[in-house]
Amino acid sequence: MSRVKEQLRSIPNRGLGYGVLRHISKDDRIRGRLAELPAAEIIFNYLGQVDQVLRKSTLLSPVPETSGIAVAPENRRPYILDVSGLVVEGRLQVNWSYSDQLHRREKIEEIAARYMERLRELIDHCRSEGAGGFTPSDFPVAEMTQKELMQIASLLNK
C-alpha cells in the first residue's frame, strides 16, 4: 500500500488527465504521442461529498428516486462503462452506468461486487494496526528514501 501512496504522490500537481493533456499540450511531440493512444473506454468519476453542499442549501435536497438515464438511447456513449462515486448522508454511493447492448447486467454486478470487495479490503488495511506509517512523500523537503526513513524511525523507537 505504501508503494501505491508513493506512486500517487509522485504525480505532479495531483495529476492532469491525459485526455486533457492530449488536447492542450504545447509540445507537439507529446500531443502526437497521446493522440496515438486509444480512447479510454471506462471513466471513474468521484463527485465529492454532496452532504457538504446540500447542508448549506435551503433550496436543494436529495431525493430517493433515480434521476433516470444520463445518455439518451439514440446517442453514442462516450464511455462503455461509467463509474461514479459520491458521498450522500455520510455513505459512499457508487453508480455503474453501461449499455445493455454491450454488457449483461449480471457481469456488471459481478464487477461491481469485486470492486466493493477490494474497496473493503483497502478500508480494512487502512484501519489495521501498523497501517498509516510514514513514507518519503510525507517529508518532501527531506528527500530521503524509504530505507533511510525506516532507519530514522527505528532510532526514534529505541
Q: Which of 50, 30, 1, 7 is nearest to 137 (CA)?
A: 7
User: E strands within the chain?
Assistant: 42-49, 81-88, 91-98
Query: Per-residue pLDDT tens for 39-63?
Result: 889 998 888 888 776 666 667 666 6
Coil, strand or helix at 134: coil
State the pLDDT at residue 4. Answer: 74
Q: Are 139 and 149 a contacting pair, CB within 8 Å?
A: yes
Query: Per-residue pLDDT tens for 100-120?
Result: 889 999 999 999 999 999 999
Between the alpha carbon of residue 157 and those of residues 137, 145, 146, 151, the distances in Å are 21, 19, 16, 10
